[in-house]
Amino acid sequence: MEQLIERCAGLDVHKDTVAVCVRLTGEGGKTVQEIQTFGATTPDLLALRDWLETLGVTDVAMESTGVYWKPVYYLLEEAFTVLLVNAAHIKNVPGRKTDVADCAWIAQLLAHGLLRGSFVPEKPIRDLRDLTRHRKILIQERAREANRLHKILQDSGIKLSSVATDILGVSGRAMIEALVEGKA
Q: Has residue 172 been placed in a domain?
A: yes
pLDDT at 100: 58
Structural domain harbouring 160? 124-180
Residue 48 identity (one-letter amino acid) = L
| 142-178 confidence digits (pLDDT tens) | 999 999 999 999 999 999 888 888 999 999 999 999 9
**Mean pLDDT of the region 101-105:** 89
pLDDT greater than 90 at residue 131: yes
Q: Is the predicted pLDDT of residue 132 greater than 90, yes or no? A: yes
pLDDT value of residue 161: 86
Cα distances (Å, whole numbers) of residue 157 to 54, 124, 161, 162, 168:
71, 49, 11, 12, 18
Is residue 74 located within the same domain as residue 133? no
Q: Are residues 23 and 108 in the same domain?
A: yes
pLDDT of residue 37: 95
Same domain? 56 vs 79: yes
Percent share of the chain, pLDDT over 70: 96
90 contacts 69 by C-beta, under 8 angstroms: no
pLDDT band at 51; cut points 50, 70, 90: very high
140 vs 133: CA distance, rounded Å: 11
Query: In the chain, which residue ranges form alpha helices assigned H by DSSP?
Result: 42-54, 69-76, 87-92, 102-111, 123-155, 160-163, 170-180
Identify whether residues 115 and 128 lie together within a single domain: no
Distance CA 149, CA 173 (A): 11
Q: Please write down the long-range contacts of 89-94, taking CB distance under 8 Å and 24 or more positions apart.
A: 89/115, 89/116, 90/63, 90/115
Whether residues 111 and 24 share a domain: the answer is yes
The reported pLDDT for the residue numbered 97 is: 52
